[in-house]
């Protein structure tokens, strides 16, 4: 099977997924989401704070914490060895599933590294937790290999997290996420806290790794222009609903939903015209109305 064929095969299907925060007045954070992730695809998930995009990402991996709960729907993982119903997994199966098949890079993850152990020890712990039979030599080789892949010098294995720069730490986190060669990686604002130049390097790395290893990526961010550049398809979320799902190109040229158009209009273009931006004399009251409503 060629890569192009595989690109149309689904690797993950969300079917009518609803996530509810069980508070006094229950809040539905994700409303009946339907989504198909294809093999090796970069799917952008765009939306603003509180739109439910992170809740959705956590729910896919069942990492959501009470009082959030999945109220309806199915999440199916289509592995090479048959389908897995993620919601039906027992705790033990779920632990094995996470990270092996589907890993996550969290927002601000560069602070998620354990500050008192070396990178080597943290990679080793992850490997041993899932592959207890791995020999010391294999562990070393695998650790060096993943670091090399994300563009970090393997000599850094002995470093402690605080000895690495922010961009370097984020690369190590991505290395950890791909340690077990998962078919899906979910990245939640992986570059938001980084400077633009470093951010660009990391994005380039992610796209290159995807091309090499052919894993699917769910890339969550509020930065729509960034998604337009790296994603194959983009889903736009508003108040818990996926309001538009389209290829990046079509979304940019011909957005259907007014909210998508508004988001697109919120980012002044670097090299293009000013558009509806600054000094056109438009009144900002329209925006504050939208803000009040949201």
Partner 1 sequence: MTSVKITDLVKDYTLRAGLKRTRLRAVDHVSLELTPGRTVALVGESGSGKSTIAKILTRMERPTSGTVDVRLDDGTTVSNAHYRREVQMVFQDPFASLNPFHSIEHHIARPLKIHGRTRTQEDTRARVLEMLERVNLTPAETIAPRRPHELSGGQRQRVAIARALAPGAQVLIADEPVSMLDVSIRLGVLNLLGRLQREDQLAVLYITHDLATARHFSDEIVVLYRGRVVERGPSDAVILDPHHDYTKLLALAAPDPERPGRVTSEAGVDREAIDNSTCYDHFAGEWREAGVPAAAARTGA
Partner 2 sequence: MTNLKPTSEPSVADSAELLAETSTETGRRPRAGWRMLLPTMTPWLAIGLGLIIAITLFGLIGPYFVGDPRAIRDMGLTGPSAEFWLGTTQTGQDVLAQLAYATRGSLQIGVIVGLLATALSAFFGIYGAYRGRIVDEAFSLFTNVFLVIPGLPLVIVISGFVPAESRGLWTIAIVLAITSWAGSARVLRAQTLSVRNRDYVAASQVSGERPWRVIVVEILPNLLPVIASQFVFAVIAAILGEAGLSFIGLGASNSSTLGTMLFYAQNGFALSLGAWWWFIPPGLIIALFGTGLSLVNFSIDEIINPKLKNLRLHRKRARRAARLERELAQATRRNGGVPTQTAKESAR
Interacting residue ranges for partner 2, rule: CB under 8 A: 20-25, 27, 29, 49-50, 53-55, 58, 64-74, 76, 85, 87-88, 106-108, 188-189, 192-196, 199, 222
Binding segment toward partner 1, per CB under 8 A, in 68-76, 97-105, 112-120, 283-291:
283-291
One of 226, 235, 237, 245 touching partner 1 (CB under 8 A):
226
274 binds, among partner 1, partner 2, none (CB under 5 to 8 A by kind): partner 1
148 binds partner 1 (CB under 8 A): no
Minimum CB separation from partner 1 for residue 209, in Å? 12
Q: At what angle do helices 119-130 and 91-100 cross, to 10 degrees?
A: 130
54 binds, among partner 1, partner 2, none (CB under 5 to 8 A by kind): partner 2
Alpha helices (H) along the chain:
3-6, 53-60, 91-100, 119-130, 136-149, 166-177, 196-213, 224-230, 248-253, 258-266, 285-293
How would you classify residue 82: left for phi > 0, otherwise alpha for psi between -120 and 50, otherwise beta?
A: left
Three-state secondary structure call for residue 241: strand
204 binds partner 1 (CB under 8 A): yes
Residue 188: exposed, middle, or buried by beta-carbon count in 10 A (0-12, 13-18, 19+)?
A: buried
State which residue, 88 or 282, has the beta carbon closest to partner 2: 88
Q: What is the spatial distance between Cα 244 and Cα 255, in angstroms, rounded to a whole number?
A: 8
Binding segment toward partner 1, per CB under 8 A, in 24-32, 67-75, 96-104, 262-270:
262-270
């Amino acid at each position: 099977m060629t890569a192009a064929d595989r690109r149309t095969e689904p690797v993950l299907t969300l079917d009518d997924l609803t996530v509810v925060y069980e508070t006094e007045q229950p809040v539905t954070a994700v409303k009946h989401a339907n989504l198909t992730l294809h093999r090796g695809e970069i799917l952008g998930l765009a939306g603003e704070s509180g739109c439910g995009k992170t809740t959705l990402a956590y729910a896919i991996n069942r990492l959501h914490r009470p009082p959030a709960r999945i109220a309806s729907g199915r999440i199916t993982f289509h592995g090479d060895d048959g389908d897995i119903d993620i919601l039906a997994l027992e705790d033990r199966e779920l632990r094995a599933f996470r990270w092996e098949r589907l890993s996550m890079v969290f927002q601000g993850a560069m602070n998620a590294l354990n500050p008192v152990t070396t990178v080597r020890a943290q990679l080793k712990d992850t490997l041993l937790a899932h592959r207890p039979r791995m020999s010391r030599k294999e562990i070393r080789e695998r650790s060096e290999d993943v670091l090399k892949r994300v563009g970090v010098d393997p000599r850094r294995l002995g470093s402690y997290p605080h000895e690495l720069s922010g961009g370097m730490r984020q690369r190590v986190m991505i290395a950890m996420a791909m340690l077990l060669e998962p078919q899906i990686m979910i990245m939640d604002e992986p570059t938001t806290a980084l400077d633009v130049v470093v951010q660009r390097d990391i994005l380039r790395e992610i796209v290159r790794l995807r091309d090499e290893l052919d894993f699917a990526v769910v890339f969550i961010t509020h930065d729509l222009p960034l998604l337009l550049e790296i994603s194959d398809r983009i889903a736009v979320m508003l108040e818990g609903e996926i309001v538009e799902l389209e290829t990046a190109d079509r979304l940019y040229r011909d957005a259907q939903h007014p909210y998508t158009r508004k988001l697109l209009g919120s980012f002044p273009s670097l090299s293009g015209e000013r558009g509806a931006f600054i000094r056109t004399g438009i009144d900002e009251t329209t925006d504050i109305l939208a803000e009040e409503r949201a």
